[in-house]
Structure 1
Amino acid sequence: MTVPVTRRRLPLRRRAPDPVRPAVAPLLAAHRAAYPGADEAALLRGYEVAERLHRDQRRKSGAPYITHPLAVAMILAEMGMDTTTLVAALLHDTVEDTPYTLGEVRSDFGERVAVLVDGVTKLDGKRWGERAEAETFRKILLAAADDLRVLVIKLADRLHNLRTLGFQPPHKRARIAKASHELLVPFAERLGIHVLKREMDDLAFAAADPAAHAATERAVTLALRGAPAAFAPARRLVRASLAEHGVTGRVEIRPSHLYAVHRALDGDVTGLRPCEAARLLLVVDGAEQECYVALGAVHAAMHPIPGQVRDFIALPKYNMYRSLHTRVITPDGDPIEVIIRSRDMHPVAEYGIVAHIRSAPDEATSTVAGRRDLVWLSRLLAWQSGVPSAEFLDGLRADLAEGSVAVFTPTGEVITLPDGATALDFAYALGAATGGHCIGALVNGRLVPLSAELRSGNVVEVLTDPEGVPSEEWLSFAVTAPARVHVQRWLARRRAEEAAETGRGRLARALAGRVDLLSAEAHGDSLAVARALGYADVDQLYAAVGSGALDLADLLPRFKRS
């Protein structure tokens, strides 16, 4: 009898779980929602490299360092940024904080990722010293001229650092909050990325002034509880009026962010009302013409406050923002702000340049060249060249200062300038040559001095004279960095020329009867002396003599007797 052999079935070996996918799964899901056919392999590889390189590093909170680049990439994914940007975000600290080199980034992930990582990599503080911060910002700006995604990554990086700022010591919290309000938040505003600006504003506010932030948060929370009831009559009237005018769309209550409320009320938030903590937002379904019909409908429903209509559709802001703003009186007698925009305008109003990059994700969309809506950045890049670090940072803060006026050239071109800008600033905004030879201006047809302060809507014509030159007095009313930098450069050149002329005269007199200075210059002897002493040319040598930096007694023996 044959006994059948029973084969024992071995249990199936379970595949070891992939430790990477759970950590990066939310990022993949967010990116897939915006780009269904995205290259997930590139993101997984970027995460794996970043996690391996940062494995032994910790954040101040004690969390693994990889949580930071992963969070930065998640912020960008939620805004709908492309795969290249997300990979660069995952790797953005590797070159700065690990042995990984830029060449390795380029080899492993390609040229574009390497450009973005290099753009956001800070300069070595030990090597650059006090100049490191200024030169890092200059580097970021120059990189952003080639690819605006550098600035977008930098903003997301700062947002996450602000979210985790509580783990930093108090002095560092204050410094980061100040730098954020002075430099990073204005960049978010200039690029129109208001979803980042609002949160960065509030987080920096909380770090800079915790007591004021807490008071504002309590007041706004309380006011917003009453907002649905307070805004209900206005919403009902607006909806009815929109229907009568044949306009469809949504009408919603839009809370203001905390820092905006704090600034608008100069910190006095006692008894804050719903109309001070929120606005009405109308997003109409039709084209931009429907926005103007909606404006008429709002004014038909409630009494408009005279002089409070601002048209950012016909005249968009420098950051691509387009909407109509008006203020009206509600049936309860409260003044409220109403914002009107189309569905097409809404993504740009929230995401600014990101919306443009997202709608056309090619490299041309991410560059400054040819974008009239980013002319402010082109001007910033133009004046920064050659400016010393300290002056550059001060100029950058001034250039990015909040508030702006929009003025027109006689041909209708819009020039955006900061609040308080003068006719001189306008002249330099047209170009260094125009500014350097200006002698006055016509504002709305009336002759005004160069110190005249401009208002939005002014039509300005600059008057020039080929013989006109900058004056020391101009620095007392030049507001913009381009104007101040160009005036200072011209004055420095003039002082150098005067010093060189004085120094040459002194040297010629001291050499008289022994050496013919004109002949020495013609034969290159003067240049040889200048180079031997470390000066680039004879004018620098003469200027040193004229200013007293170089003693004639040390110089005369170097000239051979004719």
Structure 2
Amino acid sequence: MGAPDVDVTASTEWWRGLNQAKATTRPASEAEPLIAEHLRWYPKADTALLARAYAVADHLHREQKRKSGEPFIIHPLAVATILAELGLDTATLVAALLHDTVEDTPFSLAHLAAEFGTEVGVMVDGVTKVDRSMYGSAAAGETFRKMVVAARDDLRVLLIKLADRVHNLRTLQFQPPHKRVKIARGTRELLIPLAERLGVYKLKRELEDLCFEYLETEEFERTRECAALVRGRARPETEALTVALRDSLAAFRVKADVEVRPRHLASVFHSGAPLAALDPQATVRYLVVVRGEERNAYLALGAVHGRWQPVPAKFRDFIASPKYNLYRALHTTVLTDTGHRVQIIICDNRAQQVSEYGIIAEIHERTGRDGRLAAGGTTDPEWLTRLLRWQEGASAEELLEGVRTDLADSITVLTADGVVLMLPEGSTPVDVAYALDNEIGDRFSAATVNGRLALPSAQVREGDTVQIITKAEPGPDRAWLESVRTGKARVAIGAWHRTRDRERAEVAGRRRMADSMGGDRSLIEAESSGDMISVARRAGYATLEEYYVAMGYGQIDPADAPARPAPAPPREGTDTEQA
């Protein structure tokens, strides 16, 4: 939806209504649940600011409707409420209420920043789409680029985007079928991995189930029915296992809370277990939250393994080796007395908050009772820093393709020098080389994986040690593009070859021009006198190099050059004159 054609300066009524909205201090009844939820987290928050932001958004969107026919304001209000339920600060909720105003109304970013502050303006600008009329088919990629660049200054931009997509998916039934599929697929490819990278599993799980419902509707319904059925049948066993788990912890004098968590439907379906023979314990997880120090988690693990037989291949220690998104916990799967496999997750209270909220847990800790986030900003996650390094040189298409792979499931590999790298699954030694440095990637010659020579296209695996062998001169193979996985490698290889192709085209174009003018001497004289740069500019090129490149690519015929310099006349005594 584009901004309506409104003459803002001439619309006295529009400005009067806006000024009245800006003067609001008491919340409208529709905004009261949002404010109540925010006060639950932050008792001294500025409720007048939230009321004013809602009133302004309500006024600006007053003539707009959603696909459902409902007033548009329900969308920004829902987005702000989702974020309030996660415990976000006041400025984030204000930005969420106003996040569509710059894109869909005459309210400018300058107006918004002046009224609500630069902090809110940065967040709103970060989630505002680029002008499709300017970028055309590249608009989606450029919008994503704009968002991740804004996230460098404020990660809350990404949280607003995730909440925005959650509400859009909740109401996706009002969109036509082809658009439902497009939105759900885009969410699965980009935003769900983004939620995982931020560690916001509370949103990730809902997004996964909503996409599952629209992309695999029949499987979703069957999974929901089967999961509900087996959970009901297994309730007595689940309750007995919960009691046994508590008794085992008490025997080890471990103070902990035990909770049974249903697995969300997408997780159940994609676990690989056939629905017809679904293990009831595969539909739940047992969460043990230890009290006191984090090391008590290992005491709890001893209690669990002392009671039931562990499955060795299913044990993961994310405390000793935390995940990239701050997640810290012990994961173990044990065999019960009835032969069922049961997954148990053990962590402390803070890690449990992080496992639900990810980066938001850090924001909680830095937000006062007044709902204001302390200055300083959150630390950029490693994956975002890596993405920001290579995205500038990528086209919109390369950016989206690279992000899809870079945000996919990751593995950790080591270099021979002990450098730890996080790469997408399926990465190759060439990806490793470019992850270290573009120059190393350009000069890649060979690699060993765990001491054995490996092909450039070979896939590295979790925990592999990779040694890169380089050559003196750079020269990446274009064929590597068929096997590399990281956006950084793909963009760097493409850029190197585009530069070489351009250099060759410039030489070829200059050669064609020289031939058409009777030789190099004539061209050199025309270049020295400035005649050639005039020719290039009349043809619409800013530099002579760009003109030659276009000619080298066959986009210009030397004979069609505008006001082309005449070939130099032959000098006296030359073979031409004597002939």
Which has the higher mean CA deviation after the structures are superposed, 516-525 or 352-361? 516-525
- Kindly state the Cα deviation for residue 347 of structure 1 after the two structures are TM-superposed: 0.9
SS at the partner of 1:558?
A: coil
C-alpha contact 2:411 2:462 (8 A) present in aligned 1: yes
Structure 1 position 114 matched with structure 2 position 160: no
Q: Give 2:574's aligned residue.
A: none
**Quick one: distance in 2 between partners of 1:480 and 1:503?**
34
Unpaired runs of at least 5, structure 1: 1-17
Q: Give 1:26's aligned residue.
A: 33
**Quick one: distance in 2 between partners of 1:430 and 1:230?**
51
- Aligned match of 1:229 in 229, 236, 241? 236
- Aligned match of 2:69 in 50, 58, 62? 62
Structure 1 position 293 matched with structure 2 position 299: yes
- Kindly state the Cα deviation for residue 452 of structure 1 after the two structures are TM-superposed: 2.2
- Kindly state the Cα deviation for residue 55 of structure 1 after the two structures are TM-superposed: 2.1
What is the Cα-based RMSD across aligned positions, in Å? 2.3
C-alpha contact 2:50 2:94 (8 A) present in aligned 1: yes
Q: Give 2:327's aligned residue.
A: 321
Q: Give 2:511's aligned residue.
A: 505
C-alpha contact 2:535 2:563 (8 A) present in aligned 1: no
Going from structure 1 to structure 2, the CA distance change for 1:225 and 1:412 (only over 3 Å counts) comes to farther
Q: Give 1:11's aligned residue.
A: none
- Kindly state the Cα deviation for residue 181 of structure 1 after the two structures are TM-superposed: 1.0
Alignment of 1:535-554 (within 5 A): 535-554=541-560
**Quick one: distance in 2 between partners of 1:540 and 1:416?**
39
Q: Give 2:361's aligned residue.
A: 355
Structure 1 position 208 matched with structure 2 position 215: yes
C-alpha contact 1:193 1:351 (8 A) present in aligned 2: yes
- Kindly state the Cα deviation for residue 443 of structure 1 after the two structures are TM-superposed: 2.6
Query: CA offsets, 1:504-529, max 9 Å, x none?
Result: 33333443458443454455444443
SS at the partner of 1:339?
A: strand
Structure 1 position 93 matched with structure 2 position 100: yes
- Aligned match of 2:386 in 379, 387, 410? 379
- Aligned match of 1:218 in 210, 222, 225? 225
Structure 1 position 467 matched with structure 2 position 473: yes
**Quick one: distance in 1 between partners of 2:542 and 2:318?**
52
Q: How high is the TM-score relative to the length of structure 1?
A: 0.90
The amino acid of 1:558's aligned partner reads R
Q: Give 1:438's aligned residue.
A: 444
Query: CA offsets, 1:235-291, max 9 Å, x none?
Result: 34433332333322122222111111112227x422322122112211111323222
Going from structure 1 to structure 2, the CA distance change for 1:230 and 1:419 (only over 3 Å counts) comes to farther
- Kindly state the Cα deviation for residue 27 of structure 1 after the two structures are TM-superposed: 1.1
Structure 1 position 182 matched with structure 2 position 189: yes
**Quick one: distance in 1 between partners of 2:327 and 2:219?**
29
C-alpha contact 2:123 2:154 (8 A) present in aligned 1: yes
Going from structure 1 to structure 2, the CA distance change for 1:411 and 1:242 (only over 3 Å counts) comes to farther
C-alpha contact 1:302 1:328 (8 A) present in aligned 2: yes
Q: Give 1:5's aligned residue.
A: none
- Kindly state the Cα deviation for residue 70 of structure 1 after the two structures are TM-superposed: 1.1
Alignment of 1:15-414 (within 5 A): 20-265=27-272, 268-361=274-367, 362=373, 366-367=377-378, 370-371=379-380, 374-401=381-408, 403-414=409-420
**Quick one: distance in 1 between partners of 2:463 and 2:519?**
66
- Kindly state the Cα deviation for residue 19 of structure 1 after the two structures are TM-superposed: 8.5
The amino acid of 2:212's aligned partner reads F
C-alpha contact 1:253 1:281 (8 A) present in aligned 2: yes
Which has the higher mean CA deviation after the structures are superposed, 26-35 or 315-324? 315-324
Going from structure 1 to structure 2, the CA distance change for 1:343 and 1:122 (only over 3 Å counts) comes to same
SS at the partner of 2:324?
A: coil
**Quick one: distance in 1 between partners of 2:291 and 2:445?**
50
The amino acid of 1:218's aligned partner reads E
**Quick one: distance in 1 between partners of 2:453 and 2:205?**
41
Going from structure 1 to structure 2, the CA distance change for 1:246 and 1:408 (only over 3 Å counts) comes to farther
C-alpha contact 1:185 1:200 (8 A) present in aligned 2: yes
C-alpha contact 1:515 1:561 (8 A) present in aligned 2: no
**Quick one: distance in 2 between partners of 1:514 and 1:429?**
44
The amino acid of 2:193's aligned partner reads P
SS at the partner of 1:286?
A: coil
Which has the higher mean CA deviation after the structures are superposed, 43-52 or 536-545? 536-545
**Quick one: distance in 2 between partners of 1:269 and 1:514?**
76
Which has the higher mean CA deviation after the structures are superposed, 255-264 or 511-520? 511-520
- Kindly state the Cα deviation for residue 227 of structure 1 after the two structures are TM-superposed: 4.0
The amino acid of 2:330's aligned partner reads L
Query: CA offsets, 1:2-32, max 9 Å, x none?
Result: xxxxxxxxxxxxxxxx984422221111111
**Quick one: distance in 2 between partners of 1:291 and 1:536?**
66
**Quick one: distance in 2 between partners of 1:433 and 1:293?**
48
The amino acid of 2:492's aligned partner reads H
**Quick one: distance in 1 between partners of 2:405 and 2:190?**
10
- Kindly state the Cα deviation for residue 199 of structure 1 after the two structures are TM-superposed: 0.6
The amino acid of 1:420's aligned partner reads G
